[in-house]
Amino acid sequence: MATITERYQSAANSKDLTAKAGREGDVDAIVAVAWNRSRVGAALMRLHSDWDGLAKRGGKLEQTYLQLKALSEVRGNILLWARERRMEDAGNKVDAVLCWWLEPACQSCNGTKWIVKEHQPNRPCNVCRGTGEAKIPYGTDGIAMLAYIGSCMHRAQASIRGKMRPQGVKS
Ligand SMILES: [Zn+2]
């Protein structure tokens, strides 16, 4: 059986989607991928709001990460995405990137961009170089993974907006 990615690739290569749709289900494959990203995006939102709630109560990410709701769904999907791209050490990368995504603040300045000491002028944080954010883990792989996370979130938000649009209004 063809994987969803293989079906998506064959669909993307089709010259005439509508003509082929009835026969081969190519459009179905594209819809399935779009739906899947939207579903992962919704799970990502649940993951983030669960973490936000714990963080407000003083939770530490390294202690609560594995207990976060929706983690297994999110982690499993991104792992699949990473393995389809033949990313080495995918499991560690997914965890590191998810932790960065949940808590991107620089540890040194707590995201404030400044180092504040008594009786000294404030100076920009030299760990994050004044950005307030920790370095994205695993270089280009980490950046690609964050882009995938962003695209899933975007799909989920678009689908929520679609559902909230008043009936009878065409987009
Ligand atoms: Zn900093």
Tell me, in angstroms, the distance from the centre of ligand 1 to residue 111's CA.
6
Neighbours of ion ligand 1 (CB under 5 A): 106, 108-109, 125, 127-128
Query: pLDDT (tens digit, 9 = 90+) per residue, 94-135?
Result: 999 999 999 999 999 999 999 988 898 889 999 999 999 999
Write down the residue that tokens 């690739």 correspond to.
9
| DSSP letter string, 6-73 | HHHHHHHH-S-HHHHHHHH-HHHHHHHHHHHHHHHHHHHHHHHHHHHHHHHTT--HHHHGGG-TTHHH
pLDDT of the residue at 27: 67
In a domain, 113, yes or no: no
Read off the pTM.
0.74
In a domain, 121, yes or no: no
Q: How many helices (H) and strands (E) in the chain?
A: 7, 2
Q: Which residues contact 55 (CB under 8 A, 6 or more apart)?
A: 61, 103
Query: pLDDT (tens digit, 9 = 90+) per residue, 37-70?
Result: 999 999 999 999 999 999 999 999 999 999 998 9
In a domain, 66, yes or no: yes
CA pair distance 54, 77, nearest whole angstrom: 23
pLDDT of the residue at 145: 97
Least confident segment among 17-21, 55-59, 146-150, 156-160:
17-21
Write down the residue that tokens 């008043």 correspond to.
166
In a domain, 24, yes or no: yes
Tell me, in angstroms, the distance from the centre of ligand 1 to residue 134's CA.
7
CA pair distance 43, 115, nearest whole angstrom: 36
Q: Is the pLDDT score of 5 beyond 90?
A: no
Q: Is the pLDDT score of 1 beyond 60?
A: no
CA pair distance 91, 101, nearest whole angstrom: 15
Tell me, in angstroms, the distance from the centre of ligand 1 to residue 118's CA.
18
Q: Is the pLDDT score of 147 beyond 60?
A: yes
In a domain, 44, yes or no: yes
Residue 160 structural domain: 4-95+139-164
- Total of domains in the chain: 1
pLDDT of the residue at 14: 47
pLDDT of the residue at 10: 53
Tell me, in angstroms, the distance from the centre of ligand 1 to residue 154's CA.
28
In a domain, 111, yes or no: no
